[in-house]
Structure formats: structure tokens, C-alpha cells
């Protein structure tokens, strides 16, 4: 009677003879667990991921506070950046990781074609309940800040706009400064009103 082979997560890999497994591994490479998950998280298992950013979030001018917190997590070991992103965009995160003793690696494999641009990961399972970071623009819009004011990060704004930011999102003040009186005298306008 022929021995029945069972199917597993490895497409029947465990049900094959030793010679068949060796031949399959030689032709196709070793079987991989959770291929889609690992591909989505730039080569990392979800249970090891502390935080992720999309490529467009990485490209924003400011550092996301959630990533600053993630690299300081006691189990943080690695920052993975999607290869092919603008150097100017990723350099701020690379510097942040290096300043905190986190290994930085770039992955450019065709397999990583999703929207994830940055992953902070641990060497062990951490099982964070939420790893995706809300877009800064969406978060601040919910707090009542205008689109012009949100886009003005990194620029000087008028006293009223600065007060509005302080009231709605004090954690964002580090990304803004007030227009000084001399600049205002020379015609500098608040980008929060344009």
C-alpha cells in the first residue's frame, strides 16, 4: 500500500522523502515560513517588529516620534530601510539608529515591493499590538490644525499659529519656531496662513 503524503505549510515539503527534500531545496531554495509576512516587513517576522513607517512617511521632513521611541526600546536591535529611497530621507533615521546603537541595514530585494519603507525590529519576539504609525498629517488634522500649518513644520510661524500648535499638539513644538520681530519687519509671512 502506498504511503499517503500530507500537505503542510511547506507545500508538502515534510511529506517528501529525504532525497526529494534535498532536490527541492537545491532547485528552489529552502522552504520559508510566513513568506508574505516576512516580505511585507522587509525580511522580518511580524512578532519581532516594534514599529514601521511607509515610504512616504520616511520621506517627510520630520522624524516620527514613534520611531525615536522604538529605537530606545530595550529590545530594539535592528533598523531595516527599504533600498532605493532618497538618501536625504533615510539619513535622519540612519543617524537616529546609529546614535542609539541600533544596527542599520538596507534591503533592496525585488521581493520587498510593498509600501513599507522602514522597520525597527528586535532579535526576539516582542508582539507589539500596533506597529503601524499613523500619518502625522492625519493625526494633526484630527487635533484641529490646518493643512498649511501642518506642512509648515521646520519653518517659523506667527505667534498665533505657534500658540495654536502649543494648545492642540504640544509635542509638535520642536518642529516649529516663532517668526522673530526683525524677520516680520522685513516682510516674512507665516506659512500657516498661506
Per-residue pLDDT reduced to its tens digit, 115-145: 899 999 999 999 889 999 999 999 999 999 9
Q: Report the alpha-carbon distance of residue 36 to residue 113 in Å, rounded.
A: 11
Q: Dihedral of CA 181/186/192/193: which sign?
A: positive
One domain, residues 101 and 70: yes
pLDDT bracket for residue 166 (50, 70, 90): very high
What is the per-residue pLDDT across 36-52, written as a single tens digit (0 to 9) for each? 777 788 888 899 999 99
Q: Report the alpha-carbon distance of residue 126 to residue 123 in Å, rounded.
A: 9
Q: Dihedral of CA 16/17/22/26: which sign?
A: negative
How much is the mean pLDDT over the chain? 84
Three-state helix/strand/coil letters over 52-63: EEEHHHHCCCCC
Q: Report the alpha-carbon distance of residue 170 to residue 190 in Å, rounded.
A: 19
One domain, residues 110 and 60: yes
Q: What is the mean pLDDT of residues 6-32?
A: 56
Residue 5: count of CB within 10 angstroms of its CB: 12
Q: Report the alpha-carbon distance of residue 76 to residue 90 in Å, rounded.
A: 18
pLDDT of residue 139: 95
Question: Whole-prediction pTM value?
Answer: 0.74
One domain, residues 98 and 52: yes
- Residue 61 included in any domain: yes
One domain, residues 117 and 140: no
Domain that holds residue 160: 136-193
**Would you call 185 exposed, middle or buried from its count of C-beta atoms within 10 A (0-12, 13-18, 19+)?**
exposed
| Segment among 89-103, 137-151, 176-190 with least mean pLDDT | 176-190
Cα-based distances in Å from 152 to 14, 33, 118? 57, 44, 24
| Count: domains in the chain | 2
* Helix H or strand E segment including 96: helix 87-99
One domain, residues 69 and 112: yes
- Residue 131 included in any domain: no
Tracing cell 516649529 back to the chain, one arrives at 176
One domain, residues 40 and 114: yes
pLDDT bracket for residue 58 (50, 70, 90): very high
One domain, residues 145 and 179: yes
pLDDT of residue 21: 65
CB burial readout 54-69, b (16+ within 10 A) else e = bbebbebeeebebbee
pLDDT bracket for residue 30 (50, 70, 90): very low
- Residue 30 included in any domain: no
**Of residues 192 and 73, more confidently modeled:** 73
Percent of all residues in the chain with a pLDDT value above 70, rounded to a whole number? 82
One domain, residues 95 and 167: no
Quick check: 107 pLDDT over 60?
A: yes
What are the beta bridge partners of residue 79? 104, 120
Q: What is the mean pLDDT of residues 54-81?
A: 94
pLDDT of residue 111: 73
Could you give the angle at the alpha carbon of 135 between the alpha carbons of 93 and 58, nearest 5°? 25
Quick check: 180 pLDDT over 90?
A: no
Quick check: 13 pLDDT over 60?
A: no
Amino acid at each position: 500500500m502506498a504511503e499517503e503524503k500530507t500537505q503542510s505549510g511547506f507545500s508538502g515539503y515534510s511529506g517528501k522523502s529525504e532525497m526529494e527534500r534535498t532536490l527541492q531545496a537545491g532547485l528552489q531554495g529552502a522552504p520559508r515560513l510566513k513568506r508574505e509576512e516576512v516580505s511585507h516587513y522587509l525580511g522580518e517576522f511580524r512578532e519581532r517588529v516594534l514599529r514601521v513607517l511607509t515610504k512616504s512617511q520616511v520621506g517627510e521632513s520630520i522624524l516620527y516620534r514613534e520611531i525615536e521611541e522604538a529605537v530606545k526600546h530595550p529590545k530594539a536591535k535592528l533598523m531595516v530601510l527599504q533600498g532605493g529611497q532618497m538618501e536625504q530621507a533615510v539619513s535622519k533615521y540612519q543617524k537616529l539608529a546609529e546614535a542609539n546603537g541600533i544596527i542599520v541595514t538596507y534591503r533592496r530585494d525585488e521581493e520587498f515591493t510593498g509600501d513599507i519603507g522602514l522597520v525597527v525590529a528586535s532579535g526576539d519576539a516582542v508582539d507589539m499590538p500596533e506597529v503601524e504609525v499613523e500619518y502625522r498629517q492625519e493625526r494633526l488634522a484630527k487635533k484641529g490644525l490646518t493643512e498649511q500649518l501642518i506642512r509648515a513644520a521646520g519653518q517659523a510661524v506667527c505667534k498665533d499659529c505657534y500658540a495654536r500648535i502649543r494648545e492642540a499638539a504640544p509635542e509638535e513644538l520642536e518642529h516649529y519656531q516663532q517668526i522673530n520681530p526683525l524677520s516680520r519687519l522685513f516682510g516674512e509671512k507665516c506659512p500657516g496662513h498661506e
